[in-house]
Structure 1
Amino acid sequence: METLLNAFSHSIFLYPVSLCGLLAFGITVEHLVYLVFFARLNTTSFMQSIQRLVLADELDRAIHTCLSAPRAPLANVVKAALQNADAEPRTIELAVEQATLDAVPSLQGRIGYLATIANVVTMFGLLGTIVGLIQSFDAVAQANPEDKQTMLAAGIAIAMYTTAGGIAVAIPTLAAHAFLVHRGNRILDDVDRSALKVLLMLEARRKGRAGLVAEQPAVEMIEPVQMAEQG
């Protein structure tokens, strides 16, 4: 610990390395909380509830189900389709596409910054090491011969702390970036599949209502015939 504090006092590059680590940690925690507690839904259970309500022509209840998860991309995309259920099929598709596009920024968020931070912090570490080595060699050149070896070893040790710090921040940052991107892509895949299911549900509902309308004139024609027979 004393050596680490000494490294901070001799290398200003450890401060931006530490700052990058704090930024990466904050972004990771923020997005992880969103993905785990807000964006994730039990897709199977949710879509079964929506299907049951849509086929029962209870669209208001289906929309209310979506509103129970206002920050979930899947719920927002399904809600967009349901709110346009009586529009033309192309209008419904456009509403779904727009809702899906609106969901992408919330899923990706600041994840892209993590890859940038990992690259920048590695460069800070290398730069700090190079500058530290230059300073060490300059100091050794002006030191007494009997102290040169000790000063050189101490200077190199301090300089290497910046590289170690940069790599120590970059590795978990890259791992967090890969994990969060993977989770976001999985949710987007669920959204795409579920959006197609909703479109098929609404099409089935439309055909069912069209069938009822087509049968209605035949029912009305029965009454005059029956009245004529009674006469």
Structure 2
Amino acid sequence: MDFFNVVVRFFQEGGPFMFPIALVLALGVAIAIERYIFLSGAKRTNKRAFAEIEPMLNASQYDSVVRMSERDNAPVTRVIGAGIARLKLSPRRDDVEYAMEEGLMETIPRLEQRTPYLGTLANIATLLGLLGTIIGLIAAFSAVANADPSEKASLLSQSISVAMNTTAFGLISAIPLLAFHAMLQTKTTEIVDSMEMAGVKCINLLMAKKSLSANTRASDE
């Protein structure tokens, strides 16, 4: 209860700039939670989807993979589905790789969506804190100029303490937002790397099957 009272008093003494900083913090936390849930879901669906696709590739059920990529929302299915669709038009490895890279480039923006906002919101929170402190100090010095000389020292120290609350709250808001930003970027990079690895596995498997098929036809002839 004492901690709650301290927080409320700290917020009240900070002045009007505490409210926009609190709004920035709330918005950043909401974005961080939404992105974490989305990326965690994408990671799970990718793992599940590739576990389903790999047996299809081993069985050369390419049409099934393409159909799955059309109905499944896992990012990795779109990447592999793009490569399989191109394989039907051109068996060259480079063409299949380009198609998968194109599918990956279409998927990455959805994974990175709104994450950069966290860095921007952290900067905004810091700047609002500094602005609140500057305006508070200006108001404090103006009040001290017209105050009784015996009260100037105590009034000035009290006013400065109150003005510094906004800077403290701005930093308190900015630090976790920057931490969330770094965490989500790392999580996004891991997902992208896993999709690239899945694409390479898929291409190697397709080319190995193609080479085996060609060797089988050559031996039959």
* TM-score, scaled relative to structure 2: 0.84
Match of 1:81 in 2: 83
Distance 1:42 1:6, change over 3 A: closer
Correspondent of 1:112 among 113, 116, 121: 116
Offset from partner CA, 1:140-191 (integer Å, 9 cap, x none): 1111234333422331222111001100110000000110000111111111
Distance, in Å, in 2 between the alignment partners of 1:48 and 1:120 is: 43
Match of 2:24 in 1: 20
Contact 1:51/1:201, CA 8 A, preserved across alignment: no
Structure 2 spans left out of the alignment, 5+ residues: none
Match of 2:168 in 1: 164
Offset from partner CA, 1:67-124 (integer Å, 9 cap, x none): 5741x32222112122233232233222101011112111211111111211221111
Distance 1:109 1:68, change over 3 A: same
Correspondent of 1:141 among 138, 145, 170: 145
Give, as a single letter, the amino acid of the residue that structure 1 aligns with 2:165: Y
Structure 1 spans left out of the alignment, 5+ residues: 219-231
Task: Quote how far apart the aligned CAs of 1:213 are.
Answer: 4.0
Distance, in Å, in 2 between the alignment partners of 1:196 and 1:159 is: 57
Match of 1:62 in 2: 65
Contact 1:21/1:169, CA 8 A, preserved across alignment: yes
Match of 2:13 in 1: 7
Match of 2:178 in 1: 174
Moved more, 187-196 or 59-68: 59-68
Distance, in Å, in 2 between the alignment partners of 1:29 and 1:85 is: 39
Correspondent of 1:91 among 72, 95, 100: 95
Contact 2:46/2:76, CA 8 A, preserved across alignment: no
Q: Cα RMSD over matched residues?
A: 2.3
Correspondent of 2:132 among 120, 123, 128: 128
Give, as a single letter, the amino acid of the residue that structure 2 aligns with 1:195: G
Match of 1:152 in 2: 156
Distance, in Å, in 1 between the alignment partners of 2:51 and 2:32 is: 32
Task: Quote how far apart the aligned CAs of 1:19 are.
Answer: 2.1
Task: Quote how far apart the aligned CAs of 1:66 are.
Answer: 4.6
Give, as a single letter, the amino acid of the residue that structure 2 aligns with 1:122: T
* TM-score, scaled relative to structure 1: 0.81
Identity %: 31
Distance 1:38 1:66, change over 3 A: same
Task: Quote how far apart the aligned CAs of 1:201 are.
Answer: 1.3
Give, as a single letter, the amino acid of the residue that structure 2 aligns with 1:197: K
Match of 2:39 in 1: 35
Rg larger for? 1
